[in-house]
Amino acid sequence: MNVDWPWPWLDRNWDKIAEATGEHLYLALLPVLVGLLIAIPLGWAASRWTLARGILVPLAGVLYTIPSLALITLVPLLIGTRIIDPLNVQVPLAIYTIALLVRSVSDALLAVPGDVTAAATAVGYRPLRRFLTVELPLAIPVIIAGLRVAVVSAMSLASVGALIGIGGLGGLITEGFRRNNAVEMVVAIALIVVIALVIDAFLLLVGKVLTPWTRAQRGTRVSA
C-alpha cells in the first residue's frame, strides 16, 4: 500500500473530498425524496384496495432483489441516457426507495385504528383531508422507520455508480484502489458511514418531532 499518513493527504485534498461529498449527497438523497413522494400514493392505494396490494407489494419485493450494478447498467438502455449520467444511478436508487417504502406505507396506513378513521369521517372529514390530517400523521413512525432504511441503503448504493464513471465518494474509493492508496479509500468509506449515521439520527429526531403524542404515551406508561 502507498505509505501516506492521513493528515497530509487530507490537507492536500480537502477540495476533492468536499466536492465528492456534495456529489454523493446529490446522488443519494434526491432519489430518496422522489421515491418517497411516489411511494406514499402507491402505499395508500395498496392499503385501500386488495387488488392493488396484491400487485404492488410483491412487485416492490421483486424490484428490490435486482442487483444494483445490473440495474445501473440497464438504465441507459431503458431511458436513453448517456453512460456517464447521474440519472443512471438516481433512477435505480429511486426504484429501490419505492420498493422499500411501498410496503411500509401500506402497512402503516392499515395499522391506523378503524375507530379513528370512522370518527374523522363522522365529523365531516373528506377522504383527502382525513388522509393528510389523520391517517398519514398516525402512520409517520412506521414510514420514518422505512425511510431510515432507504436513506442508509441509498448512501451505500450510490458508491456503486463509480464503477461506471459517476462521481461521489465511490469515486474516491475506486481512485484509491487504482492508486493503491488505502488512506483515500478509508476516508471515503468513513465519510459514507458517518453521513449515513448523521442523516439516520436526523430522521429519528424528525420522527419524534412530528409525533409528539408517542412521547406523551411513553411518559404516561412510565408514570403508571
- Domain with residue 63: its CATH number is 1.10.3720.10
- Return mean pLDDT, the chain: 84
- Position 81 scores a pLDDT of 65
- Position 219 scores a pLDDT of 52
- Position 199 scores a pLDDT of 94
pLDDT in tens, 110-140: 888 888 888 888 887 887 888 888 888 888 8
Beta strands in the chain (DSSP E): none
Distance CA 163, CA 172 (A): 11
- Position 7 scores a pLDDT of 64
Report yes or no on 46 lying in a domain: yes
Report yes or no on 32 lying in a domain: yes
The grid coordinates of residue 94 equal 429511486
> Residue holding cell 446522488?
27
Report yes or no on 3 lying in a domain: no
Distance CA 75, CA 161 (A): 12
Residue 17 has pLDDT above 70, yes or no: yes
Residue 222 has pLDDT above 80, yes or no: no
Report yes or no on 185 lying in a domain: yes
Count the domains in the chain: 1
- Domain enclosing residue 158, as ranges: 21-212
Report yes or no on 40 lying in a domain: yes
- Position 218 scores a pLDDT of 54
217 band by pLDDT with thresholds 50, 70 and 90: low
Report yes or no on 97 lying in a domain: yes
Report yes or no on 27 lying in a domain: yes
pLDDT in tens, 140-193: 888 999 999 999 999 998 988 888 878 888 988 998 888 888 888 889 999 999
Q: What are phi and psi of 86, to 5 degrees?
A: -55, -30
- Position 191 scores a pLDDT of 93
Report yes or no on 176 lying in a domain: yes
